[in-house]
Structure 1
Amino acid sequence: MLFADVVAASAEVAATRSRTAKATAIADLLGRAGGNEVRPVTAWLAGDTLQGRLGVGWRTLTRLAHGPAASPRLTVSDVDRALTELAGTTGTGSAARREALVEQLFTGATADEQRFLVRLLTGDLRQGALEGVVLDAIGTAAGVPAATVRRAFMLSGSLPETAATALDGGTTALESVHLAVGRPVRPMLASPGSSLDAVLADLGADVTVEHKLDGARIQVHRDGDVVRVWTRTLREVTDGVPELVAQVRSLPCRTAVLDGETLALDDDGRPRAFQDTMSRFGSDVPDPAVVLSPFFFDLLHLDGRDLLDEPLAVRLDALVELLAGEEHAALRMPGVRRPTPERAAEVLDGALTAGHEGVVVKALDASYAAGRRGRAWQKVKPVHTLDLVVLGAEWGYGRRSGKLSNIHLGARDPDGGGPVMVGKTFKGMTDELLDWQTARFPDLAREQHEWGVLLEPELVVEVALDGAQRSPRYPGGVALRFARVLRYRPDRSPADADTLDAVRALLAGG
Structure 2
Amino acid sequence: MEYSILADVYEKLESISSKLEKTHILADLFSKTPSEDLPKVALLAVGRVFPVYSEYELGIATQMMMKAISKATGFSLNDVEKKFKKTGDLGLTTEDCIKSRKQVILFKKKLTVNTVFENLQKLAYITGVGSQDRKLNLIAELLVSAKPKEARYVVRTILQELRVGVAEGIIRDAIVEAFLYKEGMSKEEKNEMAAAVEYAWNILSDFGEIAKIAKERGVEGLRKVQIQLGKPIQVMLGEKAESIEEIIKEFGKVAVEYKYDGMRAQIQKKGDKIWIYTRRLEDVTKQFADLVEFCKKGIKAKECIVEGEVLGINPETGFPLPFQMLSQRIHRKYDIQKMIKEIPVQIHLFDVLYLEGKPLFDKPFKERRRILESIIKPIPKKFEPAKQLITDDLKEAETFYQEALNAKQEGVFLKVLDSSYVFGRHVGGWYKIKPIMETLDLVIVGATWGVGSRAKWLSSYVLACRDSNTGKFLPCGMMGTGLTEEQFQLMTDTLKELIIDEKGREARIRPKIVVEVAYQEIQKSPNYESGLALRFPRLIRIREDKGPEEADTIERVYELFKSQGRAG
* Distance verdict in 2 for CA 1:103–1:289, change over 3 Å: closer
Letter in 2 for 1:358: G
CA positional deviation for 1:301: 1.1
Tell me which of 328, 334, 337 is aligned to 1:279.
328
Q: Relative to 1, partners in 2 of residues 1:64 and 1:453: Cα closer, same or farther, differing over 3 Å?
A: closer
TM-score under structure 1 length normalisation: 0.89
Alignment of 1:168 with 2:216, yes or no, is yes
Q: Counterpart of 1:49? A: 49
Equivalent position amino acid for 1:369 in 2: V
Q: In structure 1, what is the equivalent of residue 158 of structure 2?
A: 121
- CA deviation map 1:327-368 (0-9, x unaligned): 699611112234332222122211100011111223333322
Cα drift, residue 466 of structure 1: 4.6
Cα deviation code 1:248-293 (max 9, x no counterpart): 2233222211011101223554311323322333144232132110
Q: Deviations over 1:427-477 (max 9, x none)?
A: 213334344545554543334334623322111112123554566665555
- In structure 2, the partner of 1:102 is 139
Which residue matches 2:466?
412
**Offset at residue 401 of structure 1 (A):** 6.2
Distance 1:485 1:104, change over 3 A: same
2:226 maps to which of 174, 178, 202: 178
> What is the aligned partner in structure 2 of residue 503 from structure 1?
557
Secondary structure (helix, strand or coil) at the match of 1:63 reads helix
Counterpart-to-counterpart distance in 2, 1:456 and 1:136: 28
Give the 3-state SS of the residue equivalent to 2:419 in structure 1: coil
- State whether residues 395 and 405 of structure 1, in contact with CA within 8 Å, keep that contact through their aligned partners in structure 2: yes
Residues 241, 432 of structure 2: 8 Å contact kept = yes
1:308-329 CA-to-partner distances (Å, cap 9, x unmatched) read 2223232122123334778699
1:230 matches 2:277: yes
CA RMSD of the aligned region, Å? 3.1
Q: 1:238 to 1:393 in 2, by over 3 A?
A: closer
Query: Residue deviations 1:103-160, cap 9 Å, x none?
Result: 3321110122112112211223233222222222222222262221111111112122
Counterparts of 1:101 and 1:477, CA distance in 2: 43
TM-score (norm 2): 0.80
Tell me which amino acid in the other structure corresponds to 1:279. Answer: Q
1:112 aligns with 2:159: no
Distance 1:21 1:356, change over 3 A: same
Q: Distance in 2 between matches of 1:35 and 1:485?
A: 47
Contact 2:47 2:157 survives alignment (8 Å): yes
- Greater Rg, structure 1 or structure 2? 2
TM-superposed CA distance for 1:200, in Å, is: 5.0
Q: Does 1:446 pair with 2:500?
A: yes
Q: Decide whether the 8 Å contact of 1:465 with 1:481 is kept in 2.
A: yes
Hey, what's the Cα distance between the residues in 1 that align with 2:489 and 2:198? 42
Is the contact between residue 156 and residue 162 of structure 2 (CA under 8 Å) also seen in structure 1?
yes
Matched, 1:143 2:180: yes
Match of 2:78 in 1: none
SS at match of 2:439: strand
How far, CA to CA, are the matches of 2:451 and 2:130 in structure 1?
48
Distance verdict in 2 for CA 1:470–1:336, change over 3 Å? farther
Identity of paired residues, percent? 30
Q: Which residue of 1 aligns with 2:442?
A: 388
1:224-248 Cα shifts (integer Å, max 9, x gaps)? 2222212222222223323322222
Corresponding residue for 1:218?
265
**Number of the residue aligned with 2:6:** 6
Mapped contact 2:204–2:232 kept (Cα < 8 A): yes
Quick one: structure 1 residues 366 and 472, their matched pair in 2 at CA, closer, same or farther if it must change by over 3 Å? farther
Q: Is residue 190–residue 377 contact of structure 1 (8 Å, CA) maintained in 2?
A: yes
Is residue 2:292 matched to residue 1:239? Answer: no
Structure 1 residues 397 and 192, CA gap change in structure 2 (3 angstroms): farther
Task: Structure 1: state its 5+ residue gaps.
Answer: none
1:488 and 2:488 correspond: no
Kindly provide the amino acid, as one letter, of the partner of residue 197 in structure 2.
Answer: V
Q: Which amino acid aligns with 2:224?
A: S
Following the alignment from structure 2 to structure 1, what is the Cα–Cα distance between the partners of residues 11 and 244? 44
- The equivalences for 1:32-431 within 5 A come to 32-50=32-50, 52-65=56-69, 66-67=72-73, 68=98, 73-84=110-121, 96-143=133-180, 145-198=193-246, 204-250=251-297, 251-266=299-314, 268-281=317-330, 282-284=332-334, 285-286=336-337, 287=339, 288-323=341-376, 331-383=384-436, 384-394=438-448, 396=450, 403-431=457-485
Whole-angstrom distance in 2 between the partners of 1:199 and 1:415: 32
Alpha carbons 1:18, 1:417 under 8 Å: kept: no
In 2, Cα distance between equivalents of 1:176 and 1:151: 10
Number of residue pairs the alignment of both structures matches: 509
Distance 2:317 2:282 in 1: 31
Where 1:424 maps in the other structure, the secondary structure is strand
- Structure ranking higher in helix proportion: 2
Which range moved further: 411-420 or 91-100? 91-100
Per-residue displacement from partner, 1:151-204 (whole Å, max 9, x unpaired)? 111111212212222222221111111223332112222233344445556x63
Q: How far apart are residue 54 of structure 1 and its match?
A: 3.7
The residue type paired with residue 366 of structure 1 is: S
Write the distance in 2 (CA, Å) between the matches of 1:253 and 1:112: 53
For 1:242 and 1:92, how far apart are their aligned partners in 2? 27
| Separation of aligned partners in 2, 1:181 and 1:61 | 36
**Structure 2 counterpart of 1:240, which letter?**
Q
Residue type of the partner of 2:214? Answer: A
Which ranges in structure 2 are unaligned for 5 or more consecutive residues?
A: 74-97, 100-104, 182-192
* SS of aligned partner of 1:506: helix
Q: Which amino acid aligns with 1:262?
A: V
Cα contact 2:61–2:497 (8 A) shared by 1: no
Specify whether residues 505 and 302 from structure 1 end up closer, same or farther in structure 2 by C-alpha distance, changes over 3 A only.
farther
Alpha-carbon distance in structure 1 between the residues aligned to 2:324 and 2:452: 29
Structure 1: distance between partners of 2:19 and 2:109: 28
Alignment partners' CA distance in 2, 1:248 and 1:443: 35
1:93 and 1:478 map into 2 onto residues whose CA distance is 48
